[in-house]
A and B are shown apart, each in its own frame.
Chain A
Amino acid sequence: MAPGLGWLVVFMVVPSLIVLVVAFFERGVYGGVDWSAATLGNFRRAVDPLYATIFLDSASVAGVATLVALLIGYPAAYAITLQPPRRQTALLFLAMLPFWTNYLIRTYAWIVLLNREGLLNRLLIGAGLTAEPLPILYNSFAVVLGLVYNYVPFVILAVYSALQRLDPSYAEASRDLGAGPWVTFLRITLPLTASGVAAGAVFVFVLSIGNFVTPDLLGGGKVQMVGNLIYDQFLSARDWPFGAALSMVLMAVMMALLFLNAAAAARARGRRHA
């Protein structure tokens, strides 16, 4: 326990505290931090409607990405569990295969596919489905697509492991008692794999809301997410304190969500054992 705790303190608690402290000061003229006077200004600025909107937009982009990833990932995981065991391993391997490629390259590939002169638009025009190229790149649609594509394997893995732990006799019993496949799924399988769904959803949401590469590449820099905002404060505006304040707000939001998730999971466990 002690080494783990020490690790956490040194590499997580202390750095987070540094970020927290920096957030209460002003930027120096040439970057860095002006330690002369403490201020709440950065937090006040972080909740200004302009930036608050970015938080909300990021949450909605991440939320949509999470939802779509679940809608794709759950059936995919379910389909995998229906296969013979050896093929299951192979399919899971295939689901993880894209991770062997660099994230940047995987994302960049979508630019090649989606741009005005890209493969998809060429095919659509060739097939006579559209006369003008569709504007499918450099907007929030492309950002959501990129996030879903990159993170759906996490959902597949999380849901798959939940489905694996599920005792098939429950579903059999449900069907023996006359429930159809849909009712069985909705009332037995889905609730019993909720923990996997929640784990996958948290993964996708947390990774998406802080992401800055995908909005930058697929959003063409026009779709700002909170990750871009923070990145810019540190690397181009040289306003570390404001960037630190934004990071703190983001961390607070995430921790609240994770806490709610954990509380809900605990309550669900409690109910099951009652």
Chain B
Amino acid sequence: MIRTVGLAVALLIGVPAFSAVALAEGKIVISNWDGYMPKDLPEKFKAETGIELEVAVHATNEDIMGKVVASGGKGYDVLFVSSPFAEALAKLGIAGKIDHAKIPNLKNLYPEAAALKHDPGNQFSIPYAWGTTGLCYRSDIVKDAPDSWNDLLKPDEALKGKTTMLSTDRWLMGAGELALGMSVNETDPAKLEQVKTLLTDAKKTLLAYDDTTFYSKLVSGEAHLVQAWDGWCNYGITENDKIKYVVPKEGSDLWVDTMVVVGNSPNQEAAHKFIDYILKPETGKWVAENIMYKVPNKAAMDALDKGMLEKYPNLAYAPADLMKYEQLRDLGDGMKTFSKVVTEVMSAK
């Protein structure tokens, strides 16, 4: 529903849609998560640049990785992936070098956006949205406001069977790693073993693992406390203002969704134009209003309605605060041990 409203607003604001159609300048193919950018963006982009935009969708990072790792990225020009995957694409030589001279709108980004650990100076990736992972809860039901990952992992008697966790590997493990004071990029088998024990015990107290509907479970009252990405907690807040979001005192990961240009794409010029187009304040504003994620685009965040920042406090987190959290990084070879431990947690009783 949120997205429909946004679309209607976009349509009302209106665009000089068919006014100055430039000469056709070819076509690019991008892959993004479904619904992660305005539906009418391809039309508007074409109206402005004359470049045809074909949008493919992927459901998960793993999904698009599977497609491009095998083919070396052939058939795609720009990919939307989370930062550890952008890093992997760079290591694999699939993500190409980004030419800043071709992207004047980079000036719209916060300075912090160029200081991200996975890619200082935005050599191969441009951040699209960023945020935290924390606890989302019903403040009218949960008596003591949670402030620690242990409130989720070792819940009070009253909360047992009323919590959910994310099952996507990096965040599932992240909750345990942060609770134990470890790095969210830990690959040491002995330490991961500790995380496994903690998460296996926590599993017995869960209502369910849930990556997609946890906020509706809060709204319905099925769950009282869930692990959530900040933006998704906002969907719950929209329906019930007693729902609150908190980053636990042990901290959060800093997740960053990015855009990369496929290095061997023959459409470098058009791909850079696309990224430049995305970095206009309008797209970022749309993301913040509809997906309810923070964007690293200062111009977009400044354009947001102040009422929105009050209603959804996590949208107002300052970039400098976000930078305190450790970013999820590509684990490289460590991924083998890591996914094995995740499989063991998911398989445990």
Contacts and interface: CB of A to CB of B under 8 A. Distances in A.
Contacts of A27: 336
Given A138-B207, A220-B207, A239 B339 contact: yes
A135 B161 contact: yes
Contacts of B69: 28, 30-32
B336 A220 contact: no
Nearest to A51: B347
Given A29-B335, A31-B66, A220-B210, A235 B60 contact: yes
Given A30-B88, A237-B343, A116 B168 contact: no
Contacts of B167: 221
Q: Which size bracket describes the interface of B in this complex?
A: 35 or more
Contacts of A117: 220-222
Q: Which size bracket describes the interface of A in this complex?
A: 20 to 34
List 3 A-B pairs, minimum CB-CB distance, nearest first: A220-B208, A221-B209, A237-B339
B233 interface: no
A65 interface: no
Contacts of B220: 115, 117
The DSSP consensus for interface residues of chain A is loop
Contact of B169 (A30, A135, A222, A237): A237
Interface of B: 60, 62-63, 65-66, 69-70, 88, 92, 161, 164, 167-169, 203, 206-210, 220-222, 332-333, 335-336, 339-340, 342-344, 346-349
A30 B203 CA distance: 28
B65 A233 contact: no
A138 B220 CA distance: 16
A50 interface: yes
B347 A236 contact: no
A229 interface: yes
B66 A238 contact: yes
Contacts of B347: 50-51, 53-54, 224, 229
A228 B343 CA distance: 10
A119 to B, nearest CB: 12
Contacts of A30: 65, 69, 88, 92, 335
Contacts of B66: 31, 235, 238
B65 A31 contact: yes
A145 B349 CA distance: 20
Contacts of A28: 69
A51 B206 CA distance: 21
Given A235-B60, A239-B339, A224 B346 contact: yes
Contact of A221 (B208, B348, B349): B208
